[in-house]
Amino acid sequence: MNAIISASELASDLAAGHPPVLLDVRWQLSLAKSAGEPSFDGRAEYAAGHIPGAVYVDLDSELASAPGERGRHPLPDLAEFGAAMRRAGVSTRTPVVVYDGGQGWAAARAWWLLRWTGHPDVRVLDGGLPAWQGELSVETPEPAAGDFQPAPGTTGLLDADEAAALARSGVLLDARAAERYRGDVEPIDRVGGHIPGAVSAPTTDNVSANGRFLPAQELADRFKTLGAGDGSAVGVYCGSGVSAAHQVLALAVAGIPAALYVGSWSEWSSDPSRPVAVGPDPQ
């Protein structure tokens, strides 16, 4: 099953007799978050207009736990996550489509969480809300409660030690901007740089100018040049496990399974005992 869906495909599905559950996850990281300012969430934008039937999901409170030693966006409590998904109408046998404001990061985080916890049919709207050509609604739906019961997956998740090991034995991709990977700048976390052995692979290079994913073969070719796709185990991290989920999604589009280090650099860099590499090379 394709991990993404086009706006035209979604419009057809919504017009059919059994539409998917729609989740609106508009969100964007504030670079001032380290100073105590909250991330931007899309509640106001959702209220002003959303795809008809979509339910708003808050990334900070429903797709993550409170920030702390495990990073800025650690895994949510699964009981609370499941309750939030059921309130949104998510059921195991009903397809789910997730979208955000176009960047794709927040939608990918929801996609990854649902897939990792056992939902069999989740897709991300390619290009997000800007790709949608249909009408918008200001009505807040009240979906019937769903039945989804999340269960943690046995694969697809890395902790810090597993990420460090994978950087040596397989391929660990760093989805952040190249300047943060090199350690030239670090606007959020304690120190700049990267996990030793990780390869710089900005997730922004997976999409075209309109925010939509590159064709699957182009993505596969890109990841092959980065060392992924030859059968080696692949993992991804970023700042806090959000943009890295977008990279895992791009890898899925390319047909390459990958695991996510959810704690990412915000967890890794908070521990002074963990090594930090700087510069353009993995080291």
Does residue 138 fall inside a structural domain? no
Number of domains comprising the chain: 2
Residues 170 and 64 in one domain: no
Residues 179 and 248 in one domain: yes
Residues 20 and 60 in one domain: yes
Residuewise pLDDT in 10s, the chain (283 residues):
799 999 999 999 999 888 999 999 999 776 444 444 445 678 999 999 999 999 999 999 999 999 999 999 999 999 999 999 999 999 999 999 999 999 999 999 999 999 999 999 999 999 999 999 999 999 999 999 999 999 999 999 999 999 999 999 999 999 999 999 999 999 999 999 999 999 999 999 999 999 999 999 999 999 999 999 888 999 999 999 999 999 999 999 999 999 999 999 999 999 999 999 999 999 8
**What's phi and psi for 98, nearest 5 deg?**
-115, 140
Does residue 44 fall inside a structural domain? yes
- Residue 195 half-sphere exposure toward CB, CA atoms < 13 A: 33
Residues 54 and 122 in one domain: yes
Does residue 275 fall inside a structural domain? no
Does residue 196 fall inside a structural domain? yes
Sequential DSSP letters for 193-247: -B-TT-EE--GGGGB-TTSPBPPHHHHHHHHHHTT-SSS--EEEE-SSSSHHHHH
Residues 94 and 180 in one domain: no
Rounded distance between C-alpha atoms, residue 153 and residue 97, angstroms? 20
For residue 241, the enclosing domain spans 157-268
- Side chain identity, residue 133: Q
Structure confidence at residue 135 (pLDDT): 95
Residues 100 and 178 in one domain: no
Residues 34 and 98 in one domain: yes
CB of 235 closer than 8 Å to CB of 173: yes
Does residue 280 fall inside a structural domain? no
Q: Taking the chain, what is the end-to-end CA distance rounded to the nearest angstrom?
A: 37
Does residue 192 fall inside a structural domain? yes
CB of 234 closer than 8 Å to CB of 258: yes
Structure confidence at residue 40 (pLDDT): 67
Structure confidence at residue 151 (pLDDT): 97
- Domain boundary residue among 131, 166, 181? 131
For the question of residue 238 being annotated catalytic, the response is: yes
Rounded distance between C-alpha atoms, residue 45 and residue 203, angstroms? 25
Residues 113 and 162 in one domain: no
- Please tell me the pTM assigned to this model: 0.95
Does residue 145 fall inside a structural domain? no
Question: Residue 174: which CATH number?
Answer: 3.40.250.10
Structure confidence at residue 1 (pLDDT): 73
- Domain boundary residue among 131, 146, 181? 131
Does residue 217 fall inside a structural domain? yes
> Pick the catalytic residue: 198, 238, 245, 259?
238
Strands 199-200 and 157-158: unpaired
Residues 195 and 259 in one domain: yes
DSSP label at residue 56: E
Take residue 199 and report the two structure tokens written for it.
Answer: 């390869």
Rounded distance between C-alpha atoms, residue 242 and residue 63, angstroms? 10
CA torsion, ordered 191, 194, 195, 196, to nearest 10 deg: -120
- Domain boundary residue among 97, 131, 165? 131
Structure confidence at residue 38 (pLDDT): 45
